[in-house]
Amino acid sequence: MRETIRLHMNEMPYPPSPGVVKAAQQGLARLNRYADPAELETLRGLLAGYCGVPRDRVILSPGSDLLLREVIHTFSQGRRVITTSPSFFPTVQAAKQFASEWLSIRLSSPAFDLNTEVLMQVLEGPSLVILDNPNNPTGQLLLDPTAVEALLQQENVLLVIDEAYYEFSGVTFADRIADHPQLAVIRTLDKAFSLAGARVGYGIVGEAFQGVLSSFYAFLPQPSLCAAIEALKRPEEMRENVRRVLGERERLQRALDELGVHVYPSSTNFLLVRTYLPDLVARLGDKGVLVADVSNQLPAGFFRVSVGTPGENDAFVDALGEQR
């Protein structure tokens, strides 16, 4: 039976190290118990050290998407929720469900830039602005320090930055939390730390979020908690995998360029690709290669492909070449 190549979920293609797997297995032996609060505090402390922030600014969550959903559910009351189009789809779904007023700003083509002048113009009254930086599914950085400072100077604006791909982009605004109580940064261990199956997300939050979200106390599953603690003790393993992915991303982009398809620059572990071949996502799936159909937010012809191992990337390029 042919093995399916999964390039549709932005996962790290390399598994966690044996030490992290062993820690998760030790957690399995305690499945009859809830997570020990002391171990949860250990994880918060490790995350605080990793991010360079005080421990009490770290909020744990079983997945960054659930934390984003909680933020929207809690802070959208009496505020206009502002996102971009396209954006991380679960964020869009939560905004549709919970916001009494929701505004989506279309990213400017062809480069998918965020027009910050337009964003500033719609900040009328209390607002909750949620931006993924880098953006999913375009892979583009939307924010620079000037834009972030301008947003944070606006009265009655809460700013949430989704930094799920921080380790790949190297760009963060977490260091501004201390000076800006209305800022929150949301991250995950799913991607760079090879822990998508563990579902560990976290927030680095300013005071405006801290008091409310401090009650959002996550009893993470024992294997997830143990794996996360061990992975954060071994950040060099994560960094090595990130370097491998970034190298493969550049090689994959060159290969796609040679095929004559349009590939967008990326600051993540995935690429946005445009081709006018009909039904391409389904046809690649028939070949055993899964890529993400993003037609729910972008015009026809766009798809998103995660960077896999060298062998997986070669198989994807070969399958795509056969469709031309």
pLDDT at 217: 64
When pLDDT is averaged across residues 258-262 and rounded to a whole number, the result is 95
For the full predicted model, state whether its pTM sits above 0.85. Answer: yes
pLDDT at 214: 78
* Residues ≥6 apart with Cβ < 8 Å to 180: 152, 159, 206
pLDDT at 187: 98
Residue (of 251, 310, 299) closest to 276 by Cα position: 299
pLDDT at 195: 98
Task: Say if residues 222 and 27 touch (Cβ distance below 8 Å).
Answer: yes
pLDDT at 245: 98
Domains and CATH numbers, the chain: 5-14+236-322 (3.90.1150.10), 18-233 (3.40.640.10)
pLDDT at 211: 86
Q: Give me the helices (H) in 52-132, please.
A: 64-75, 89-98, 116-121
Does residue 1 register a pLDDT over 60? no
Residue 213 φ then ψ, to 5°: -80, -10
Does residue 41 register a pLDDT over 60? yes
pLDDT at 219: 84
Residue (of 252, 235, 204) closest to 48 by Cα position: 204
Lowest-confidence segment of 21-25, 157-161, 185-189, 212-216 by average pLDDT: 212-216
How far is Cα of residue 38 from the mean position of the Cα atoms in its chain? 27
How far is Cα of residue 129 from the mean position of the Cα atoms in its chain? 16
In the sheet with 289-293, reading across from the earlier edge strand, the strands are 5-7, 289-293, 302-306, 270-274, 262-263
Does residue 166 register a pLDDT over 60? yes
For 171-197, the pLDDT digits (tens) are 999 999 999 999 999 999 999 999 999
Greater pLDDT, 285 or 2 = 285
pLDDT at 124: 86
pLDDT at 110: 87
pLDDT at 324: 76
What is the length of the chain?
A: 324
Residue 323 φ then ψ, to 5°: -85, -10
When pLDDT is averaged across residues 18-46 and rounded to a whole number, the result is 96
Does residue 90 register a pLDDT over 80? yes
* Residues ≥6 apart with Cβ < 8 Å to 30: 222
When pLDDT is averaged across residues 273-292 and rounded to a whole number, the result is 95
pLDDT at 259: 95
When pLDDT is averaged across residues 249-266 and rounded to a whole number, the result is 97
Q: Give the CB-side neighbour count of residue 300, counting CA atoms within 13 A.
A: 5
